[in-house]
């Protein structure tokens, strides 16, 4: 074993750690294998979004000590930034195992540092934390969640005073402060309990009222109030507020998937509690079919992602991908607000660089500014802050099943997204069609865009190296052609340089640095490669498009675009 790793293990065995922790380390030692080394070979990185990792003992795990040290660093930075001013923070957590324990640990450390803490009484959707930060005038916040990761994981998302996750310079500055916490002895663990205020129902009521205010067509919901809705929280925090919000909107025919209704950090019915995964939506889909529902919706454990199922043009149930859902939501907010006379001349929408370019087209043809930012809703939140007072934000989204409607929160919000998507389904039903019919109409109007995502998992120490090697290989030797089409441009967001591979011309990319590569092909196809910031994966995003003359041509064109994506994947040897 590496001497540094062994030194860390010895420090935990002899240092001021509780006996339960020391016994767990001894048990791993006795069992042998790689588990002990993997738990200590590095420190769990406090990245630009916070912490995320497997729960357990060790410096590379989510536990009381890594969470406490991270919080002490964050507390130090808040106090340095705001000096003598009162510092307030809000804290929430999801349904995961240990989430309440971690949230209370975070609260105790902040409070011991003289910071006023607002701690939710029990699990809550992540977007409500963002809303609470803004409502209570907090300087920061934390939610304990690992979002859609498997049950072994937990995490810690850090927020700033606008209700958005940390962005420069605060993200890097907090990391410096966290890294400066050399020992658990540096952490103030207790002594400020009087600084903690428990919050709950009053904030829930304000949040529900805010979400209700996002409705564009409440008159249509009144007519279609019995829209048959199936909803699954996938054992997560959505159960706290989604049914309540749907009731506030006026929907009266909501069916909860009972097998997945109870919050449970073991996620007993799924492997991955992620609405992006068809397996996680399968029980809900079965119920939707059984009762002939109009729409199926599922949210992840912390209720910031939403997946939907609808009947397609053949009457078959299908799960929509995140790009399709985003296209529908953006188009609805643009068109419905215009029709209602709510549109403003300075309206803007925001998407990420790996999200469907169909949204850019929809916005352009409706004379609305559409901005592209890096992956992550913190960048959407940052741009809203930058444009405040000059441009009016309407909606933002990304392909990974995230939407953010209105600017009263600054993170993706599946609770308001569920309500909006049900309103959209009611609107289309009033016109005698489904959301899928609407999507095909949009393809005819704006062009037919099809996207696909592949995630390649590379676990452990070697896995990280392999992902880095793949990215470096693409940088050093970009392919000249992909699937028979010449590569015209290579966009390197890490080096912040775009390059025309035919002419050699290059230009500066003005977005912040991010380890993303994009290949733009002569036939209009786009391929993006991006290592995940929260999981041991590298993600490849494929986007192809064509024109669609009429609805009748949809199936043939869909097959054509699917074949093109298959060809790209095969040529890049990704499967």
> Which positions are annotated as active-site residues?
147
The residues, any chain, with a CB within 8 Å of residue 199's CB and separated by 6 or more, are: 90, 118, 119, 120, 121, 132
CA 288 to centroid of chain Cα atoms: 25
Burial of 270 (0-12, 13-18, 19+ CB in 10 A): buried
Helix (H, G, I), strand (E, B) or coil at 340: coil
Q: How far apart are the first and last CA of the chain?
A: 35
Region of 483 please: left (phi>0), alpha (psi -120 to 50) or beta. left
288 phi and psi, to 5 degrees?
-60, -40
Cβ-Cβ contacts under 8 Å for 181 (sequence gap 6 or more): 69, 70, 72, 73, 187
Contacts of 314 (CB under 8 A, 6+ apart): none
Q: What is the Cα–Cα distance from 485 to 479, expressed in whole angstroms?
A: 10
Contact between 555 and 563 under an 8 Å Cβ cutoff? The reply is no
CA distances (Å), origin 401, targets 117, 268, 362, 456? 31, 22, 19, 19
Compute the distance between CA of residue 127 and CA of residue 367 in angstroms, rounded to an integer. 30
CA atoms of 526 and 438, how far apart (whole Å): 25
Sheet holding 347-352, edge to edge: 369-373, 347-352, 392-398, 402-405
Token pair recorded at residue 264: 């449970």
- Are the C-beta atoms of residues 486 and 480 closer than 8 Å to each other? yes
* Interatomic CA distance for residues 88 and 304, integer angstroms: 24
Distance CA 539, CA 515 (A): 11
Contacts 24+ apart (CB under 8 A), 26-32: 28/57
State which H helix or E strand residue 570 sits in.
helix 554-571
Residue of 70, 58, 49 whose CA lies nearest to 1: 58
**Displacement of CA 97 from its chain's centroid (Å):** 20
362 CB neighbour count, 10 Å cutoff: 22
Question: Are 56 and 151 within 8 A, CB to CB?
Answer: no
CA–CA distance, 140 with 292 (Å, rounded to integer): 45
Please tell me the distance from the alpha carbon of residue 568 to that of residue 547, in angstroms, as a whole number. Answer: 19
Question: What is the greatest pairwise CA distance in the chain?
Answer: 72
């Amino acid at each position: 074993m590496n001497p540094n790793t062994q030194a860390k293990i010895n420090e935990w065995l002899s240092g001021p750690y509780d006996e339960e922790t020391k016994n767990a380390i001894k048990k791993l030692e006795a069992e042998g294998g790689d588990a002990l080394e993997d738990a200590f070979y590095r420190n769990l990185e406090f990245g630009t979004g916070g912490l995320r990792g497997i729960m357990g003992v060790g410096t590379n795990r989510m536990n009381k000590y890594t969470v406490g040290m991270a919080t002490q660093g964050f507390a130090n930075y808040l106090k340095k930034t705001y000096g003598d001013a009162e510092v307030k923070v809000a804290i929430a957590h999801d349904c995961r195992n240990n989430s309440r324990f971690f949230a209370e640990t975070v609260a105790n450390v902040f409070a011991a540092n003289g910071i006023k803490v607002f701690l939710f009484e029990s699990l809550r959707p992540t977007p409500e934390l963002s809303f609470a930060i803004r409502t209570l005038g907090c300087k920061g916040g934390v939610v304990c969640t690992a979002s859609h990761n498997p049950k072994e994981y937990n995490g810690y998302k850090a927020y700033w005073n606008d209700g958005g996750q940390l962005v420069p310079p605060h993200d890097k500055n907090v990391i410096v402060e966290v890294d400066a916490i050399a020992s658990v002895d540096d952490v103030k663990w207790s002594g400020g309990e009087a600084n903690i205020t428990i919050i709950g129902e009053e904030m829930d009521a304000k949040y529900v009222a805010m979400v209700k205010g996002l409705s564009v067509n409440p008159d249509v919901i009144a007519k279609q109030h019995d829209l048959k809705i199936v909803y699954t929280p996938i054992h997560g925090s959505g159960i706290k507020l989604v049914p309540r919000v749907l009731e506030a909107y006026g929907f009266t025919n909501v069916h909860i998937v009972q097998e997945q209704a109870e919050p449970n950090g073991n996620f007993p019915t799924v492997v991955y509690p992620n609405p992006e995964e068809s397996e996680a939506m399968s029980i809900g889909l079965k119920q939707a079919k059984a009762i002939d529902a109009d729409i199926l919706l599922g949210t992840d454990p912390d209720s910031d992602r939403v997946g939907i199922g609808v009947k397609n043009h053949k009457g078959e149930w299908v799960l929509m991908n995140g790009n399709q859902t985003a296209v529908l939501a953006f188009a609805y907010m643009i068109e419905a607000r215009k029709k209602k006379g709510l549109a403003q001349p300075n309206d803007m929408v925001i998407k990420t660089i790996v999200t469907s370019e169909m949204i850019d087209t929809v916005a352009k043809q409706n004379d609305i500014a559409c901005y592209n930012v890096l992956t992550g809703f913190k960048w959407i939140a940052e741009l809203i802050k930058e444009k405040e007072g000059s441009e009016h934000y309407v909606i933002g989204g990304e392909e990974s099943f995230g939407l953010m409607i209105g600017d009263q929160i600054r993170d993706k919000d599946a609770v308001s997204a569920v309500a909006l998507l049900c309103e959209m389904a009611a609107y289309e039903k009033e016109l005698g069609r489904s959301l899928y019919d609407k999507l095909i109409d949009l393809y005819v109007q704006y062009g037919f865009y099809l996207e696909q995502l592949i995630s390649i998992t590379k676990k452990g120490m070697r896995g990280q190296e392999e992902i880095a090697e793949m990215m470096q290989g693409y940088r050093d030797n970009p392919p000249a052609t992909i699937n028979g089409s010449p590569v015209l441009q290579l966009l390197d967001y890490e080096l912040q340089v775009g390059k025309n591979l035919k002419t050699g011309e290059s230009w500066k990319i003005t977005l912040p640095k991010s380890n993303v590569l994009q290949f733009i092909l002569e036939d209009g196809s786009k391929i993006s490669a991006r290592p995940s910031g929260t999981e041991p994966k590298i993600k490849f995003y494929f986007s192809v498009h064509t024109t669609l003359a009429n609805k009748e041509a949809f199936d043939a064109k869909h097959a054509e675009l699917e074949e093109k994506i298959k060809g790209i994947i095969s040529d890049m040897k990704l499967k």
